[in-house]
Amino acid sequence: MVFPPETEEYIRESIENSLGLPVSAKTLRLKLLASEDERRRLRDKIFLLQGLLSEADSRLEQYRAEASMNAQGLRRCIEEKEAVASGYADLVNHCAKLQEECTLYERDIEMLMESCDDLARENEELRVQLKGTSVTTLISEVESLTKDKEHLKINLDRAEEEVKVLFEENNILAEENKKLLNLLNRERHKHGSGGTHSASASAKRKRNSSPMVSFIEKAINFHSSDLSRQPLSPLQLNSPNSRMHKK
């Protein structure tokens, strides 16, 4: 196998160096160049790795920021989910209440339908009764009620007139009573004064007894006239019994 001369020279010098033989300046210069070249390559690689590391750091920060944002979004999602769950529970309770109210409304509707059926039956019965009742009967009832109204009006007018008469007669009786009381008081006063002047007193009593007797006679005549006066007209035409008899 044939190697290039530079390789053969490098191998030979490496063997000599390992054996402790002195190395030439050319070999040392070549090794220095090679080490510098290697150092440059390593430095370039370090720069490249540093760039990659900075890029990785920036990506890591970006990933951290995204993770923080995702965590916040996840937290918000959890809170929204809890709110939705509580709202769903409230909706379930409200739905149950609405179902109960619907049940009550259905019962009320059933009761209303039953009452409507009852009213319809009553209406039909009334229609049948109205059909059975003749128009002449209704007209006669209306005429009877009109007559009762007229009789009531007449009786009320008569009662008002009789009340006025009674009021006037009561006033007259009050005046007569006052006069009688005054005469009685005078007679008592005269009787209480003594019997010294018997002749003159007896004559005066005879003269004074005549007006007293006249007042008493007027009162008696007044009472007899009251007794002979007609009473109030009876309201029998307006009584329910009279209507029953009429029908």
The SS3 call for residue 137 is helix
Q: Six-digit token pair at 186? A: 């005078």
Split at pLDDT 50, 70, 90, the class of 133 is: low
Q: How far apart are CA 33 and CA 27, in angstroms?
A: 10
pLDDT at 236 exceeding the cut of 50 = no
Q: Six-digit token pair at 77? A: 């999602």
62-109, pLDDT tens digit by residue?
999 999 999 999 999 999 999 999 999 999 999 999 999 999 989 999
State mean pLDDT over 156-176: 88
Q: What is the pTM of this model?
A: 0.30
Contact residues for 247 (Cβ-Cβ < 8 A; gap 6+): 141
Residue 85 CB-half CA count within 13 A: 6
Q: How far apart are CA 22 and CA 28, in angstroms?
A: 11
Residue 232 CB-half CA count within 13 A: 17
The SS3 call for residue 231 is coil
Contact residues for 246 (Cβ-Cβ < 8 A; gap 6+): 144
Of residues 162 and 241, more confidently modeled: 162
pLDDT at 246 exceeding the cut of 70 = no
SS3 content of the chain, % helix, strand, coil (to 5): 90, 0, 10
11-61, pLDDT tens digit by residue?
777 776 677 666 667 767 877 888 888 899 999 999 999 999 999 999 999
pLDDT at 207 exceeding the cut of 50 = no
Q: How far apart are CA 247 and CA 137, in angstroms?
A: 9
DSSP line for 158-209: HHHHHHHHHHHHHHHHHHHHHHHHHHHHHHHHHHHT-SSSHHHHHHHHHHHH
pLDDT at 187 exceeding the cut of 50 = yes
Question: Could you tell me if 159 and 232 are in contact, meaning their C-beta atoms sit under 8 angstroms apart?
Answer: yes
Nearest to 28, CA basis, from 6, 10, 3, 54: 10
State mean pLDDT over 148-174: 89
Q: How far apart are CA 157 and CA 184, in angstroms?
A: 40
pLDDT at 198 exceeding the cut of 60 = no
Which long-range CB contacts under 8 A does 2-8 form with residues at least 24 apart?
A: none
What is the structure's pLDDT at 217? 52
State mean pLDDT over 126-135: 74
